[in-house]
Amino acid sequence: MDKVGVVIPCFNNLNVLKKSIPLIYSDDFIIVVFDDNSTDGTSNWLKKNFPKIIQLKGDGNNWWTGSLAKGIQKCIDNDCIYIMSVNADVLVSPELIYKLIETSKTYNNSVIASLVVEVKNPNKILWGGSYFKKIHSLIPIYSSKYIVKSGNDIKSIASKVYETDEVHGRGVLIPSKVINDIGNYDYKNFPHYGGDNDFSLRLKNKDIKMYVDPSCVARVFSDNTSLNIRKKMSLSQKFIGIYRYLFVRKNGEALFVWFKLYKKHLSFKYFIQSYVFIILLNLYRKLLN
């Protein structure tokens, strides 16, 4: 059996870890939980209930990308052939992981992502892959676009595996060879948001394929996710949310993240207008939400 590592970054996520860990746990896996200085009893709960899980401790400054990258490195140090990235708020089973491995082998050991739905509404798609390309052949602007529109019924998805240009942390299988080829997640430049986008674009630039396997469905708790789930908010709440999205690391730090991301991955003739477009587009979405 191939050695499989499961990486779960967390910070004060005990409420959802109590649901996600028992579901994914298996003695067949090396499970690494990177606890970035939680204060909610995560460490004691894991020691008491799952003593075989490897706990890595952070000082609170690792954020999502640093926590994931250091957990991945621990799996590589333990000679894992495949690494499963699972956010703390995501529900997946060992059977799903085995299916992702099977799909990865079928598609030349590629990166394979799960379809993502919400726990309370599992028939509606939250994420089903995205493309990163020009918004039109005649317009010099690059942006991401969902392959499957968020909110679509899961029955509308064909069962066939399909390509995506981006993956995230919600049930994604990564062969360790891929990490050896392109390097780990870049937590120095993208400590929280943007780390998954940068990793995906590095894969794309190296022509390493990414796929979505719609037969593998990860369920996520919407209150913990950054996926675009509409909630009723007052105008003042929207403006506070926009400020946080633009400047606060926990909520996006978008002005800095998108600048660095596009500057790194786009040529100058596409960089400025693409950056302005994505910021304005996301602000419009947040006002419309």
Of 242, 249, 260, give the one whose Cα is nearest residue 192. Answer: 249
Domain boundary among 207, 224, 241: 224
> Does residue 243 share a domain with residue 168?
no
Q: What is the mean pLDDT of residues 213-240?
A: 81
> Does residue 132 share a domain with residue 219?
yes
Domain boundary among 197, 224, 251: 224
> Does residue 86 share a domain with residue 133?
yes
Is residue 10 scored above 60 in pLDDT?
yes
Q: What is the mean pLDDT of residues 30-51?
A: 98
> Does residue 269 share a domain with residue 138?
no
Residues 52-84 pLDDT 10s: 999 999 999 999 999 999 999 999 999 999 999
Dihedral sign for Cα atoms in the order 69, 73, 75, 76: positive
Cα separation, 98 vs 243, whole angstroms: 42
Task: Note down the domain range covering 123.
Answer: 4-224
First-to-last C-alpha distance (Å) of the chain? 47
- 8-state DSSP, 109: S
> Does residue 268 share a domain with residue 157?
no
CATH of the domain at 16: 3.90.550.60
> Does residue 271 share a domain with residue 209?
no
> Does residue 84 share a domain with residue 26?
yes
Domain boundary among 203, 224, 245: 224
CA distances (Å), origin 196, targets 80, 152, 170, 171, 192: 21, 23, 11, 13, 9
* Number of domains into which the chain is organized: 2
Query: Nearest 5 degrees, angle CA 187-CA 192-CA 196?
Result: 75
Decide: helix, strand or coil at residue 224: helix
Residues 156-184 pLDDT 10s: 888 899 999 999 999 999 999 999 999 99
- 8-state DSSP, 36: -
Burial (CB count <10 Å: 0-12, 13-18, 19+), residue 5: buried
Check residue 1 and give its pLDDT. Answer: 76
CA distances (Å), origin 213, targets 106, 127, 201, 266: 11, 12, 19, 28
Is residue 229 scored above 70 in pLDDT?
no
Contact criterion met (CB below 8 Å) for 94 and 216: no
Check residue 227 and give its pLDDT. Answer: 56
Check residue 289 and give its pLDDT. Answer: 73
Contacts of 94 (CB under 8 A, 6+ apart): 24, 25, 26, 28, 29
Distance of alpha carbon 26 from the chain centroid: 22
Decide: helix, strand or coil at residue 53: coil
Cα separation, 46 vs 55, whole angstroms: 8
Check residue 263 and give its pLDDT. Answer: 97
> Does residue 38 share a domain with residue 177?
yes
